[in-house]
Structure 1
């Protein structure tokens, strides 16, 4: 989230002019639109589609009552209001074809000079429809009829005229519909009356022909159709069927009692179910006596033995009680059997009677089917006749009532404020469009920028650390004089003591050559030590020192993608700053295509390291020194551009030269040619410990740098870091956090 906020705020800082200018232009366009657009006024009439009023057409076949309108019906009324027929009625009623606003006054109109009334009315109708609107209020039956005109009075007059024309149209349409419906209903009633009479006569004739007598009351025929009467046979069959059902129930009940008494007779007298099931007082009394004697017999047998006379006497009494209980149960069973036989006999008689009636009824089924069909047809004709007669009477009554489903509940009045254009809305839309356009333009500018702007961007695109961002500095054409009181921390190496290359002649040792930079920008980091410019080079220097703790990092190559990105200036300032800090540093100009070090020194050198490699000159004679910092300078002089410059840099002689310099210097800064135009840098990669890649801020294409740098994997692996050069600090603050690249910190003294 914080990263997104940073991106948004950064975009606002970078493109703030776009965010100011584009909305301002949009607001100006909106103001101009308000000035040139004439004011328009909108009047609104509210029309209510009342669901409680009388309906004739759409409810002719429905019961009369308050039937609410559904959404589709209200939508249909909206379409009627929006129809050209209703609009043409308003145009003709208000004579809008003669109104200059509708006839096209003030503009070329092919119908204005024409005498065709119909053409002028059609043109006025088109103008009318273009400024009229119909809308339904949410979840109500109210319709808002609005009209917009240059005149407030005209807008109110036309809005009310639309509502009145709609009501008149509804009345006319209803009268015509009711008149046509009444005529149709009358014809239909006469037809149904004759058909109902014919159907009644057919029913009577059928009954007389087939000797069918009814008992009255509603019934159901064998075919399942409702009839006006119930036949005699059907009545008898219905009653006999009920009696049979009752008889079968009685038979089942008697059979259940008989089965139960047979089960009880098989039980022992001592079982409680004998008395509990039958609920017979005699059996209950006998069983209680039996149980009492059984208890006494058991008591006496326990005291005196089972053979005692008293015990035997009690057992005889108990046996007598058993016989009495069995006899009573036999009497009850006989009574139940008799009831069962009577019920079964009655059931069989009823079944035989029912079978006889059924067989007789089958002979008259065809007659009953015919009667049911005739009676059903007669009933339908009578029902239709009654309904149509009722509707016809209602239609006749309502022909004299001028009632519609619509009424005006809020007539239009002349508005006091204009409706179009709305100043706040126009300005809000203009500002919104301006803001959206500004965002789009700003995003487009960001997308097509395609150059390096921030250290984070360089690290993400190139996969390497961004060492520093060097601000753009102006150069001075005058030579820089040595600073007074400048002291060297360490003595420079004795160049004459360096071993000459193999096979080289031993030249005479001359006095050391002293140089000064004619371009002050080459040593700006030394001359202006308390500045953002110098601080950027200190960051490179510290990175080089830290890298030396990891692996050997004496030979540092300075290169770039394209020429004129400031790599030579970066190399000179970095070497001078390191030397001024007390390090033994030598700066080598290794750009064989465009050597710049010799041209920026005063006095102009007369020899360079090519002469040392060829054996014409000793290394000490070719090396000069900048006295204020002790920086050793090894320039390059060319009489003509070498054809195979890459062979020179990749040669063993150049490697031997670097090896000799490693023995005497802490750092060897090599100003290399750019990477894109020539292949020299690729040839010297193995001899360089690390590379500083210079990219011109806001100028060099990201795609170009990626294509050339990332293609050289060995160079990328040896990369110390990337330096963004020639940065515009004021513009840089739009991409970075404000206040980072400012000199104010140094001015505050800590």
Structure 2
């Protein structure tokens, strides 16, 4: 890729380099490409629209009916028991699972069998083909009839292709949509799918409950046997270890409690008997008991004897005081008192003997109870150890019993559910016969055809631009030549090429009055061709503004790009403005300028360089613009044109012309086939490169300019020549509108 010459037109700008990969992402370049290739895009759009219209006319209309099913976990609990098969836990994944069930082959096959769809032409491949498929089917040979299995599989495939299951937003509702050629059939199938789904769910629950009931029944038999064996083991262990339960606890525990109670009472009785015995012994030792002791003993004999003793004692005291202590009556009273005391003492001793007997009995009873307690404690210890194992046996027995009871309850529930299953799904909107077709949608088909046509057209346009290997745009000139594009000249109409019948004045070396294409800028001053050359002339003035006289070489990469026409018209344009200008035919091998302007010339540049003629003797003049022309007359093949055109004589001639003319235009040969341009480049102030639009290859321009340093560094710019007028208006879209509005001519 080339770098833009900073001294070219528009000097002072940054160096210019365009990457073709980055060009793909240049929005402006893409838009320009689309505008240039709009016929291709329009053709693509028209083709796809035509295909879309054809499809709409030939495709069989289809109708879609929709049934909406609600997956509701809040179903009626008609059986207030725990279910064997648990309710569906409603969440996003559960809803997705239900949609997959609705799309399953089992549901499809159920509907196909219920509605006998295998005999329907739409499902068995005999109908719904559309016009194109019907015609093709009639033309192509038919094979053997399909088997029942193949018909069924074909029906399932067609059924599922036309079935659409979709969750309604984030709700628990599911839309079941079916598309058919028959609107009534579409509604019938949509409703049948919902029915088949709910029946399938109920049947699945019934089968699951049935399997659970069978398993529960087998398990119950096993648990009943295990529970009986565990209970027998408990009873045998109790009998073996003398463990008797009275309903209020173990018998051994009750006996131990009773003995403990009796021991407490026995010890209290022993203590009481001992206390009475000790007290009676004290009374016996004290003699006549006082009133308190008598009351405590509660003995009638002692009480009576004590009363007699007190009466005699009172009488003895009275009589002793009255009669004296020695009185016989007093002595008798004292004798009676002693007799009563002996009687009291005898009674007390008898009571003490009774108390001692009671005390011994209480002690014997207490000892017996202690012995019984020790025996019961030992027995309780053994029973407690046996109860550890007994509790394990009872726990096992109870576990089996609980399991059996639980399984029995579940079995009863399963039996109830098996006879009355409940589904979580219910239809909230039944499908009705659709009134309008769902496919093909005219707007969608035509819109899709339009978009597809645009995409294909744009893709083809961009591909065509990228695969096009010739120069067509100003941007490509800058990209591959590395110089500023001075403008684009249209391919001139054939009427402008004719030079008419007027002849040149050979005697006075004057050009013909009508030169046609070679003086087009004068004949068509408002044409785009002329304006482009004006731009080139301005670029030369800006580029070479420091030189009072400017030598400009006009060349091209390859022959036949129109450099002679461009150089002649640039010179004519300058001369027509009143400035002194001369044009030299510098193509010594193929002097096309001489053949076009001065076909009758016999002498020219070669004779001047060799000194055979003076400059004034070979110059020709344009009578219209005053342009001077120095032709080249090759009287034979010149083998060393490069040496001649780069000779000192050529340098002297150009130096002389600088002093006489403001502009010296040199029509140089092409750069690629000969080296003449390289040879003379040191004598040229600036180059104008002519590139033929739509013909000159990109790599040729890149190679030619890149390998010619002087041409690249001194290039004023390039002119894109011979552009198609129609294409030019699309290519240069940003200029074309202004040219059409401002100038009278498009050429």
Q: How does 1:465-614 map to 2 (within 5 A)?
A: 465-473=484-492, 474-478=496-500, 513-516=509-512, 519-551=515-547, 554-602=550-598, 604-614=600-610
Change (3 A) 1:202 1:713: farther
Deviates further, 682-691 or 513-522: 513-522
Displacement of 1:118 in angstroms is: 5.2
1:410-449 equivalent positions in 2, closer than 5 A? 410-449=429-468
1:411 Cα deviation from its structure 2 partner: 2.5
SS in structure 2 at match of 1:570: helix
Report the 3-state secondary structure (helix = DSSP H, G, I; strand = E; otherwise coil) of the residue aligned with 1:558.
Answer: strand
The CA deviation at 1:382 is 4.3
SS of the residue 2:68 aligns to: strand
Taking the aligned partners of 2:744 and 2:620, their CA distance within structure 1 comes to 36
1:112-511 mapped onto 2 (5 Å cutoff):
120-199=151-230, 377-378=396-397, 380-473=399-492, 474-478=496-500
> Does structure 2 conserve the Cα–Cα contact (< 8 Å) formed by 1:479 and 1:519?
no
Shift of 1:186: 1.8
**C-alpha contact 1:512 1:620 (8 A) present in aligned 2:** no
Give the corresponding residue for 1:328.
none
Question: Once the 2 structures are TM-superposed, how far is the Cα of residue 115 of structure 1 from its aligned partner?
Answer: 9.9
Query: Is the partner of 2:499 in helix, strand or coil?
Result: coil
Residue in 2 that maps onto 1:333: none
Aligned residue number for residue 74 of structure 2: 52
The 1:18/1:571 distance shift into structure 2, 3 A limit, reads: same
627, 648, 669: which is aligned to 1:652?
A: 648
1:672 and 1:364 map into 2 onto residues whose CA distance is 135
Structure 1 position 710, deviation (Å)? 2.0
Which residue of 2 is the match for residue 298 of structure 1? Answer: none
Match of residue 733 from structure 2: 736
Of the three residues 35, 39, 64, the one matched with 1:13 is: 35
Q: Deviations over 1:227-266 (max 9, x none)?
A: xx9xx9xxxxxxxxxxxxxxxxxxxxxxxxxxxxxxxxxx
Residue pair 1:531, 1:743 contacting (<8 A) in 2 also: no
Structure 2: gaps spanning 5 or more residues: 1-24, 128-133, 254-381
Q: CA deviation at 1:629?
A: 2.7
Against the structure 1 CA distance between its residues 654 and 208, is the aligned structure 2 distance closer, same or farther, given a 3 Å change threshold? farther
Please give the TM-score of this superposition, normalised by the length of structure 1.
0.67
CA distance in 2, matches of 1:116, 1:700: 67
**1:303-339: CA deviations, max 9, x gaps?**
xxxxxxxxxxxxxxxxxxxxxxxxxxxxxxxxxxxxx
- Which of 73, 94, 99 is the equivalent residue of 2:120? 99
Counterparts of 1:367 and 1:651 in 2: how far apart (Å)? Answer: 139
Deviation, 1:423, is 1.7
Which residue of structure 2 aligns with residue 323 of structure 1? none
State TM-score, norm by structure 2: 0.67
Q: 1:518 Cα shift?
A: 6.0
The match for 1:703 is 699
**Alpha-carbon offset, residue 709 of structure 1:** 0.8
| CA distance in structure 1 between the aligned counterparts of 2:389 and 2:656, rounded to whole angstroms | 135
- Identify the residue that residue 688 of structure 1 maps to in structure 2: 684
Tell me the distance in 2 between the aligned counterparts of 1:691 and 1:527.
26
Contact preservation (8 Å) 1:40, 1:419: yes
Change (3 A) 1:364 1:706: farther
Post-superposition offset of 1:517: 6.7
| Distance verdict in 2 for CA 1:648–1:377, change over 3 Å | farther
Separation of aligned partners in 1, 2:568 and 2:211: 109
Larger Rg: 2
Alignment pair present for 1:30 and 2:68: no
**Inter-partner Cα distance in structure 1 for 2:150 and 2:543:** 92
The answer (yes or no) to whether the contact 1:729–1:741 under 8 Å persists in 2 is: no
Instruction: Give a deviation string over 1:103-128, Cα, whole Å, max 9, x none.
Output: 33367799998696555444444443
Question: What residue is the counterpart of 2:618 in the other structure?
Answer: 622
SS at match of 1:100: coil
Helix, strand or coil at the partner of 1:404 = coil
Q: For this pair of structures, how many residues does the alignment match? A: 576
* Contact 2:587 2:669 (C-alpha < 8 Å) held by counterparts: yes
Which residue does 1:275 correspond to in 2?
Answer: none
Tell me, yes or no, if the aligned pair for 1:480 and 1:520 is still in contact at 8 Å: no
> Separation in 1 of the partners of 2:423 and 2:142?
38
Deviates more, 1:549-558 or 1:47-56: 47-56
- Aligned 8 A contact 1:454 1:736 in 2: no
Structure 1 residue 516: Cα displacement: 3.0
In structure 2, the residue matched to 1:247 is none
How far the C-alpha of 1:26 sits from its partner, in A, is: 1.7
For residues 418 and 122 of structure 1, do their structure 2 counterparts lie closer, same or farther at Cα, with a shift above 3 Å needed? same
Output one character per residue of 1:595-631: Cα deviation in whole Å (capped at 9) or x when no partner: 0122123561011221222333333222222233332
Closer/same/farther in 2, CA of residues 470 and 426 from structure 1, 3 Å limit: closer
2:34–2:462 Cα contact (<8 Å) kept: no
Distance change (3 Å), C-alpha of 1:367 and 1:688: farther
Q: CA contact under 8 A between 1:178 and 1:399: conserved in structure 2?
A: yes
Classify the secondary structure of the residue corresponding to 1:685.
helix
**Matched-pair contact (CA < 8 Å) for 1:22–1:434:** yes
SS of alignment partner, residue 26 of structure 1: helix
After superposition, the CA RMSD in angstroms is 4.2
- Residue aligned with 2:734, SS: coil
Q: Is the 8 A contact 1:147 1:159 kept in 2?
A: yes
Pairwise CA distance, 1:568: 0.9
> Matched residues in 1 for 2:708 and 2:432: separation?
82
CA distance in 1, matches of 2:568, 2:195: 94
Change beyond 3 A, Cα 1:366–1:656 = farther
CA 1:209/1:644 → structure 2, altered by over 3 Å: closer, same or farther? farther
| Cα separation, 1, equivalents of 2:422 and 2:393 | 43
Q: For 1:20 and 1:423, how far apart are their aligned partners in 2?
A: 20
Q: Is the 8 A contact 1:590 1:670 kept in 2?
A: yes
Query: Shift of residue 592 of structure 1?
Result: 1.8
Match of 1:83 among 104, 107, 127: 104
Tell me which residue corresponds to 1:745: 742
Pick closer, same or farther for the CA change 1:622–1:101 going to 2, 3 Å. Answer: same
Asked if the contact 2:581/2:664 (under 8 Å) is kept, the reply is yes
Is the Cα contact below 8 Å between 1:532 and 1:743 reproduced in 2? no
**Aligned partners of 1:611 and 1:135: how far apart in 2?**
94
Does the aligned pair in 1 maintain the 2:35–2:733 contact within 8 Å?
no
Change (3 A) 1:450 1:375: farther
Q: CA deviation at 1:154?
A: 1.9
Contact 2:706–2:712 under 8 Å retained in 1: yes
CA distance in 1, matches of 2:556, 2:390: 115
